[in-house]
């Protein structure tokens, strides 16, 4: 990096600066600063014992007067949120031994990773939300949902008490038939209906981790999987994308070294890179599952998001021996609608029963009307996939052209499928860019939140399938933010390598 660059500022100051910008006009700066820090303490993002930056340093990073920070810290001390110790500065009040639990810290940072929560907290009105990549249903899919709803035999269903911890039998049957069509021999008692793929991953994490196991994931990966493993008190092991022989060798080595109980993958299509896992890698994972007894979780939540026209290999489970521990996860969220909260697990019968017990302890069972609607929608999934494919191909063309026009220095390759474009900045930090973007009225996902190790801070995830007009305006604002950021990053036009 060139020596004339301004000093980098920490994520804490970046977050504070974004919050201050968002609350502009709502009272004096020292009060807003104190409120923001207090809220971070309440949410567990600043743990007991955490030291706050010295007043002068924070004032510099935020571009405000030192006295403003002194007043904010004073108010926090008065309200007993922080303590000041001679020689040690200002720290969050409370027992620091609690803060040493990495679990608490992980849960706190998960609020940064979860785009659903960030959409609620970071995207106030007027801010364009490029955080969430989930496409809403288009007109044709909405019409399909309406028709499915009309077919729900409510009077008949209401004669039953409505609790099905394993899932509505008609839906389990429909899912099994659908999976058969995709080349995966399945019977209905191998299906557990869940509240979306996320609940499926959470249940599986709890089962696998059970008191501190390790789950290997590709780096970067779907943020919800990182959170689910860590929330279950498990350790996440980061691997390269499992699409080459050397990467699969690396997985085999980490299994041999010990402790890796499972590997989580999104073969069709990788989240966030959009890569389609080739057949040889699927076959090798299937063999590895059997020979090492390592559970392979294949999450097909994005399978409907096909852009490529090349043939899609069968799921990993289709290449696995009957006794290999390969678990398939599916969902209607991206194909049809996330609001339905319908997903499923395909696993051996005994595991389905075990997971259903775990599930029942959380919510007893899923919504019955949504499951009844889903029967008809699962029957029509081939049609839905075709609609999504055509929509995504057109959308990628449009957004790709805008990106090339507005942010020509960013590097990306067209994804084979999935929800997003995984773009690399020519230099700089996407965490810092996200703060600058928030001032320009657009919220983006910095690459590092999709990495268990906090890598890929030079990447940004941009959604493909959300509203086109909003995306265009969002990218226009992002291009302005990038220009602001470039100016601060290269103050004298120096080339940064």
Residues contributing to the site for ligand PLP (CB under 6 A)? 134, 196-198, 222, 224, 266, 271, 299, 301-302, 331, 333, 338, 343
Nearer to ligand PLP, 45 or 299 (CB): 299
**DSSP string spanning 40-65?**
HHHTTSS-TTPBPPPHHHHHHHHTS-
- What's the min distance (Å) between Cβ of 156 and ligand PLP? 28
Asked if 215 and 229 touch (Cβ cutoff 8 Å), the reply is yes
Sort strands 214-218 and 235-239 into parallel, antiparallel or unpaired: parallel
- What's the min distance (Å) between Cβ of 72 and ligand PLP? 37
Nearer to ligand PLP, 227 or 486 (CB): 227
- What's the min distance (Å) between Cβ of 264 and ligand PLP? 9
Question: How far, in Å, CA of 454 to CA of 419, rounded?
Answer: 21
- What's the min distance (Å) between Cβ of 328 and ligand PLP? 12
Q: What share of the chain is helix, strand, coil (3-state, %, to 5)?
A: 50, 15, 35
- What's the min distance (Å) between Cβ of 439 and ligand PLP? 27
**DSSP string spanning 402-422?**
HHHHH-TT-B----SBSSEEE
Q: Which two tokens stand for residue 300?
A: 């097909």
Nearer to ligand PLP, 127 or 197 (CB): 197
Question: How far, in Å, CA of 58 to CA of 20, rounded?
Answer: 13
Closest chain position to ligand PLP (CB): 196
Cite the DSSP H helix spans in 123-243.
139-150, 154-157, 169-181, 196-209, 223-231
Nearer to ligand PLP, 186 or 271 (CB): 271
Cβ burial of 215 (10 Å; 0-12, 13-18, 19+) is buried
Nearer to ligand PLP, 58 or 355 (CB): 355
- What's the min distance (Å) between Cβ of 6 and ligand PLP? 36
- What's the min distance (Å) between Cβ of 98 and ligand PLP? 30
Nearer to ligand PLP, 190 or 227 (CB): 227
Asked if 197 and 187 touch (Cβ cutoff 8 Å), the reply is no
Nearer to ligand PLP, 282 or 477 (CB): 282
Question: How far, in Å, CA of 125 to CA of 439, rounded?
Answer: 13
């Amino acid at each position: 990096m060139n020596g004339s660059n301004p000093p980098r500022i920490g994520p804490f100051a970046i977050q504070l600066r974004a919050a201050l910008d968002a609350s502009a006009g709502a009272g004096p700066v020292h009060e807003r600063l104190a409120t923001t820090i207090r809220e971070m303490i309440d949410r567990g993002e600043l743990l007991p014992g955490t030291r706050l930056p010295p007043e002068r340093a924070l004032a510099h990073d935020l571009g405000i007067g030192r006295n403003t920070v002194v007043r904010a810290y004073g108010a926090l001390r008065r309200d007993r949120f922080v303590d000041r110790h001679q020689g040690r500065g200002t720290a969050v009040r409370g027992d620091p031994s609690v803060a040493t639990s990495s679990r608490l810290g992980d849960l706190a940072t998960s609020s940064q990773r979860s785009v659903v929560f960030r959409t609620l907290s970071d995207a106030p009105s007027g801010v364009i939300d490029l955080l969430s990549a989930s496409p809403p249903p288009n007109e044709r899919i909405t019409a399909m949902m309406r028709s499915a709803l009309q077919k729900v035999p409510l009077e008949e269903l209401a004669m039953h008490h409505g609790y099905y911890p394993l899932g509505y039998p008609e839906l389990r049957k429909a899912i099994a038939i659908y999976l058969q069509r995709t080349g995966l021999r399945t019977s209905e008692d191998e299906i557990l209906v869940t509240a979306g793929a996320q609940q499926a991953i959470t249940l599986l994490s709890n089962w696998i981790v059970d008191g501190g196991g390790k789950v290997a994931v590709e780096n970067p990966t779907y943020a919800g999987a990182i959170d689910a493993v860590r929330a279950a008190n498990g350790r996440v092991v980061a691997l390269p994308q499992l699409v080459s022989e050397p990467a699969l060798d690396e997985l085999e080595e980490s299994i041999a070294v010990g402790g890796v109980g499972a590997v989580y993958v999104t073969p069709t299509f990788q989240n966030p890179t959009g890569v389609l896992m080739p057949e040889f890698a699927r076959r090798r994972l299937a063999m590895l599952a059997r020979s090492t007894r390592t559970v392979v979780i294949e999450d097909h939540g994005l399978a409907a998001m096909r852009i490529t026209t090349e043939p899609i290999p069968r799921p990993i489970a289709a290449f696995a021996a009957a006794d290999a521990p390969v678990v398939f996860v599916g969902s209607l969220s991206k194909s049809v609608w996330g609001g339905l909260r319908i997903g499923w697990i395909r696993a051996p019968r005994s595991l389905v029963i075990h997971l259903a017990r775990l599930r029942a302890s959380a919510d007893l069972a899923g919504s019955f009307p949504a499951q009844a609607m889903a029967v008809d929608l699962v029957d029509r999934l081939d049609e839905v996939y075709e609609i999504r494919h055509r929509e995504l191909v057109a959308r990628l063309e449009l957004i790709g052209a805008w990106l090339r026009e507005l942010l020509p220095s960013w590097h990306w390759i067209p994804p084979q499928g999935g929800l997003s474009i995984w773009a690399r900045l020519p230099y700089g930090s996407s965490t810092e860019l996200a703060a600058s973007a928030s001032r320009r009225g657009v919220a983006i996902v910095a690459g590092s939140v999709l990495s268990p190790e906090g890598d890929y801070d030079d990447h940004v995830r941009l959604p493909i399938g959300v509203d086109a007009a909003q995306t265009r305006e969002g990218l226009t604002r992002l291009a302005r933010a990038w220009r602001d950021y470039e100016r601060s990053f290269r103050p004298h036009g120096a080339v940064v390598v």
